[in-house]
Amino acid sequence: MICGHIWNSPSRSEETDIRHIWEARALILIPPDEEVGFAYLNYSTSKLFAAVYPQAVEIAILLASPYWRRAADQRHPGRDRFFEEMSRRITYPYSDDPAASDAIAHWSDAFAWRPPSRPMRTHSPARSTGIVPPASETQLKRDLNSGFHFASKRRVGSTLLRHNHIRPVIAREWNRKYERIDEAIERTRRFDAAFRVETALERAEFGHYLLALRTAHEESQKGRREGVDAELETAFHL
């Protein structure tokens, strides 16, 4: 999702901008067809994911690290270090300016303090043998449209953001449901004042939930200890 937003941004900051590297990789992986002059005949969305994969891993290292998750929190005094480290790893200038509408700033404000979300679905272990089902007509049509879109507009980030592969990080379990995917995608880079107020209220609600959970746990432990003491006293008298 983050790589998709970065690639989808129309501006270029400098020659070392990671988007130039992604575009060079995509040109190698999806070369234009010399006969028809389009790249869609060689197109595959998997190749676009391959172009951003090294940087996706670098981003995942930070997002999964407890240290950097704490540093990314808006309440942490060292938050700037998180943005600096992210920029160093993927050569992209991040900013927590509300006008920037940046996906990293959005994540640090809305997700850094949350526990990891559950997957939308789980799968049973793969079988050692089996037949891969053929692609459906809908899937083939979607891939063909994506290929045309890529060849004509080169809006690569938009293609990545609409892929089912990243839907779990766009349709979070705690987010309200959107009728249009464009609205859900737009939310994942919001950092305006209204969004920050909404996030603060969600954070307060989550804090009350954790406090209630802790209180219930302590009461359960207390009841268990009292039950053990009663059993010991009964055994002593016997």
pLDDT digits (tens, 9 = 90+) for 22-69: 888 988 888 877 666 566 677 788 888 999 999 999 999 989 899 999
Please tell me the distance from the alpha carbon of residue 14 to that of residue 35, in angstroms, as a whole number.
Answer: 34
Q: In a 10 Å sphere around its CB, with 0-12 CB exposed, 13-18 middle and 19+ buried, how is residue 30 labelled?
A: buried
Average pLDDT (206-229) is: 72
Q: What is the pLDDT of residues 98-132, one digit of tens each?
A: 445 588 888 888 888 887 777 666 666 665 556 66
19 φ/ψ angles, rounded to the nearest 5 degrees: -65, -30
**CA atoms in the 13 A half-sphere facing the CB of 167:** 10
Give the orientation angle of helix 103-110 with respect to helix 79-90, to 10 degrees: 140
Please tell me the distance from the alpha carbon of residue 167 to that of residue 1, in angstroms, as a whole number.
Answer: 9
Please tell me the distance from the alpha carbon of residue 28 to that of residue 42, in angstroms, as a whole number.
Answer: 10
Q: Is 131 left (phi over 0), alpha (psi -120 to 50) or beta?
A: beta
* The pLDDT of residue 38: 64
Q: In a 10 Å sphere around its CB, with 0-12 CB exposed, 13-18 middle and 19+ buried, how is residue 196 labelled?
A: middle
* The pLDDT of residue 55: 92
Q: Does the pTM exceed 0.75?
A: no
In the DSSP assignment, the letter for residue 98 is: G
Give the other-Cβ count within 10 Å of 100's Cβ. 16
Give the orientation angle of helix 103-110 with respect to helix 193-237, to 10 degrees: 30
Contact indicator for 94, 9 with CB cutoff of 8 Å: no
Please tell me the distance from the alpha carbon of residue 55 to that of residue 61, in angstroms, as a whole number.
Answer: 10
Q: What is the pLDDT of residues 146-201, one digit of tens each?
A: 777 676 656 677 788 877 778 778 877 766 676 677 788 888 888 888 888 888 88
Give the other-Cβ count within 10 Å of 5's Cβ. 21
Cα 94 off chain centre by = 16
Contact indicator for 85, 78 with CB cutoff of 8 Å: no
In the DSSP assignment, the letter for residue 162 is: T
